[in-house]
Amino acid sequence: MLLNRKQSGKRWHLRPDGAPKVTGQLQYLTDMTLPDMIHGRVLRSEYPYARLLSIDTSEAEALEGVYAVLTSKDVPGLNRFGIATPDQPVFCEDIVRYVGDAIAAVAADSPERAALALDAIRVVYEELTPLNSTDAALAPGAPELHEHGPGNVLHRTEIKRGDAEQAFATCDHIVTETYYTPRQMHAYMETEGGLFVPDEEGRLNVYAATQHGYKDRMQLARIIGCPEEDIRVVSSPIGGSFGGKDELNVQPYGALLALRCGRPVKMHNSRKESVRAGLKRHPMKIEMQTGMSREGIIHAHRVRITADTGAYATLGAPVLNFCTEHCLGPYAIPNVDVEGVSVYTNNGVSGEFRGFGGNQAIFGMEGQMDRLAEIMNMDPWEFRRRNMREKNDPGPLNQRILVTDGLSQVWEALDRSELWQKHQSPPADPALPPWIKRGVGAAIAMHGAGLGYGIPDPAGGRLSLNNEGKIEVAFSYEEFGQGLVATLEIMLCDLFQCSTSDLSIIIGDTDRVPHSGSSTASRSTTMAWMALQRLQTPFRSRALAVASEMSDIPADELVTGPGGIWRKGQLPADTSEVETDVQKTGKSEKAERTEVAEIVAGGTESAQIAESYSGVSQYQAKLEAPSDFVVSYAELAMQGEADEWIFDTKFDYPTTPDNVVGGHYLYTYAAVAAEVEVNTLTGETKLLDTRHVVAAGPVINPMGYIGQIEGGSVMALGFTLTEDAVMQDSRYVTTNLDTYLIPTIRDIHTNLEVEAIEDLPEGDSFGPRGIGEIGSVALAPAITAAIHQATGVRVNRLPVQREQLVRPLNVPLQEGVSPS
């Protein structure tokens, strides 16, 4: 189905957080203030690599208005953090390993005074020569950045199948190429920060963005040396994350300063500090050698991945696992020899980023496919089909995966598309000047969801009827913009035929939600759906049984509906669908205005509370409350004990039964076509048109779905054409959004079509798959294929170097790979 507003009809659901966001009423955690708060700042390293000889804080401490100056001596618990491998110091003790390393933190009565205090801290360093590349870090004799070596290797991966060596010897054609991908920055618009508030009971309230409040709480408790229950983490709403806020960032400093001073401490990173200290996408070098027979069947694939993980581990190892799994693409290759290594350097820290290593791998693998097809003189799409895995084939790691038709469906849908058809007869526009060249390219991908085999990936949730008579769900997921709350609303309205005003959705607050895992790896939608499937039956049966007792109507004649329990067949007609503005605009102007007034009023109130998304549903304009129900939810909630109305579930994200660490079980599939225009005088590439075909199961929230694919696609456009956090001698050269160039509204492809394939095998118990990442993984190779058709240049390095595409007018464009 071509996904757009018109096709979506009544499912075009207005987000409950819309009004507070468009009016500026919504308080982000970095907007929060308290009257007696003070301001925290962090002193970061002057050098990418140095020994710390001494730190003198006395002058800073003596300054008026300075409340605390903390260094490593002041960390009561573990002076380390990191989701997977806690190897990043809260404060460095003796060595600094990158320019974002923290040495001290101060709290003062104004941000300016805090900055002065930082200047007054005297640090003596012994500068060391930074390991500014993976080559330098792997060179024999290179100093070891961490004790847990060997050498500077964080992690190695390997897939060996068949006998690649021998297979290459029999191949008729071999393509050898090395691909380079950039250090992409998340560039979330809200930089890191928040408010840290100790309360009278000695608990610490942390209002700061994260993708997993419980993980932050655990890590903070470990740093502070206190029980986890002594900390409450409130973590939504978030002004964007894309993986970048999954690790702790300002939290350790805010927390320690607040506890030391006994006062609320506000932190808010400047963009420059955010760039310097924050995570980036792993820059990778991917060497590939792929061999095929005369008939164009791939027999052998050799891959060497080198990832620059920077100074600390964070999720460097799982990212490399994911990249390794995805560098075979969705292809059946009998002889495989893959080795990956993730290397510590003194560069910025690389970690989790939308696509999780898939983007780099898919760029490489799809590039190989185009190069091989060219040798065969074959349509590149047809070449892919020949080599594609069969529906029942095992996954890339030879693991069992859930069988779906997704791959062939996206292949076929793209094949049929008008845009891809243009590829056959390269678009030539005689009106264009001769230096403007056009081309079309395409790429395909399978992308794993969830954390993979062998990594704890708990899920669960809570469904209850709260004492206000609202159907309440609570999850430990976060809203960082993706539209999770809207999706939950739609799921609940679908399940219970209720209206949005019957709902209370609670997320992002460790005091109020059960542990149901993180919002990462495109997992939240599936997990929430699976949890609700498990919870709906006990909830519904109790509700109907109690209503039956109250009304003397047999339970099997009752159903849940808007406002309460209804007699079957008497549900008001329109409530079977989620309310949409299509319905709303049907009402009179006057009525619409009243609703809007309610929306804004709700927004203001909640902005003051700003503690979580609970009650966010109140923004949603209310349905004209139908009242022909048998029993209202409010009346129901008064029956029996409150905890009899609470239902919990716990389970794990579905994984493959086969013992392959990191191997996925659920995959989503995507095919992307792109049309570009290259100006061979300036080297500028402009993306004109794209089509994304995505197979991820039923579309729950069309507005959210389109938004995620469009957003992912434009992020991938930046990855392909402009984005690179350039480092020189391990220092960032691009330190802000004026030199680090993310796409603007001028740079995007205004023709972006999204086609959703909703089929799932009959009886599939996993429901809709997340689509947070799939829109971002396959655009780069589609664009570079299009550039090749336009100019004859094979691009192997991202972002595309303009110089590579510039040609003097009188020289014909050359085939072949640029040497850069």
Partner 1 sequence: MSKPLENHWTAVVNGEQKHLEIAQTTRLVDVLRTHLQLTGTKVSCEVGRCGACMVLIDGEPVNSCLVMAYQCEGSDITTIEGLHGEEKGTLHPIQQAFVEEGGFQCGYCTPGMVISTKALLDAHPEPSQDQIETGLCGNLCRCTGYGGIIRAVRKAGERCALTETSTEETVS
> Which of 43-51, 296-304, 382-390, 594-602 is the region at the interface with partner 1 (rule: CB under 8 A)?
594-602
Query: Residues for the chain: how many in total?
Result: 820
Query: Does the footprint of ligand FES cover residue 240 (CB under 6 A)?
Result: yes
Residue choice 62, 169, 597, 642 for contact with partner 1 (CB under 8 A) = 597
Q: Which CB atom, from 25 or from 152, has the smaller least distance to partner 1?
A: 25
| CB-based contact 716:655 (threshold 8 Å) | no
Q: Which CB atom, from 181 or from 722, has the smaller least distance to ligand FES?
A: 722
Count the site residues for ligand FES by CB under 6 A.
3
> Which of 159-167, 183-191, 219-227, 635-643 is the region at the interface with partner 1 (rule: CB under 8 A)?
183-191
Residue type, 253: Y
C-alpha count within 13 angstroms, C-beta hemisphere, residue 672? 35
| CB-based contact 371:177 (threshold 8 Å) | yes
Query: Does the footprint of ligand FES cover residue 139 (CB under 6 A)?
Result: no
> Which of 101-109, 467-475, 480-488, 653-661 is the region at the interface with partner 1 (rule: CB under 8 A)?
480-488
Cα maximum dimension of the chain: 90
Contacts of 739 (CB under 8 A, 6+ apart): 733
Residue choice 481, 483, 743, 772 for contact with ligand FES (CB under 6 A) = 481
Exposure b/e, 576-613, CB count within 10 A at least 16 = b = ebbbbeeeeeeeeeeeeeebeebbbebbeebbeebbbb
Helix or strand or coil: residue 52?
strand
Count the site residues for partner 1 by CB under 8 A.
63
| CB-based contact 487:350 (threshold 8 Å) | no
Cβ at position 304, least distance to ligand FES in Å: 37
Helix or strand or coil: residue 756?
strand
Query: Does the footprint of partner 1 cover residue 353 (CB under 8 A)?
Result: no
**Angle 191-193-198 (CA atoms, 0-180°, nearest 5)?**
170
Q: Which CB atom, from 28 or from 629, has the smaller least distance to ligand FES?
A: 28
Q: Which CB atom, from 364 or from 481, has the smaller least distance to ligand FES?
A: 481
Structure token digits, residue 527? 């997990």
Q: Which CB atom, from 29 or from 221, has the smaller least distance to partner 1?
A: 29
C-alpha count within 13 angstroms, C-beta hemisphere, residue 620? 28
Query: Does the footprint of ligand FES cover residue 18 (CB under 6 A)?
Result: no
First to last CA, the chain: 41
Distance CA 93, CA 71 (A): 8
Query: Does the footprint of partner 1 cover residue 745 (CB under 8 A)?
Result: yes
User: Binding string to partner 1 for residues 674 to 703, with x set by CB under 8 A, is what?
Assistant: -----------------------------x
Query: Does the footprint of ligand FES cover residue 189 (CB under 6 A)?
Result: yes
- Tell me how far CA of residue 464 lies from CA of 484, 513, 647, in angstroms: 19, 12, 6
C-alpha count within 13 angstroms, C-beta hemisphere, residue 319? 33
With CB cut-offs between 5 and 8 Å by kind, which of partner 1, ligand FES, none does residue 96 bind?
none
With CB cut-offs between 5 and 8 Å by kind, which of ligand FES, partner 1, none does residue 537 bind?
none
Q: Which CB atom, from 17 or from 611, has the smaller least distance to ligand FES?
A: 17
Checking DSSP bridges between strand 684-695 and strand 80-81, what pairing results, if any? unpaired
User: Binding string to partner 1 for residues 701 to 740, with x set by CB under 8 A, is what?
Assistant: --xx-xx--xxxxxx--------------------xxx--
Query: Does the footprint of partner 1 cover residue 65 (CB under 8 A)?
Result: no
Q: Which CB atom, from 719 or from 766, has the smaller least distance to ligand FES?
A: 719
With CB cut-offs between 5 and 8 Å by kind, which of ligand FES, partner 1, none does residue 187 bind?
partner 1
Query: Does the footprint of partner 1 cover residue 191 (CB under 8 A)?
Result: yes
**28 closest CA partner among 704, 508, 351:** 508
| CB-based contact 368:173 (threshold 8 Å) | no
Distance CA 494, CA 183 (A): 42
Please report, as residue ranges, which positions from 344 to 403 form the binding site for ligand FES (by CB under 6 A): none
Query: Does the footprint of ligand FES cover residue 22 (CB under 6 A)?
Result: no
Q: Which CB atom, from 189 or from 726, has the smaller least distance to ligand FES?
A: 189
Residues of the shown chain interacting with partner 1 in the complex, contacts defined by CB under 8 A: 5, 14-15, 17-28, 31, 33, 186-191, 237-240, 242, 268, 270-271, 480-483, 581, 593, 596-597, 599-601, 703-704, 706-707, 710-715, 736-738, 742-746, 748, 750, 752
Residues of the shown chain interacting with ligand FES in the complex, contacts defined by CB under 6 A: 189, 240, 481
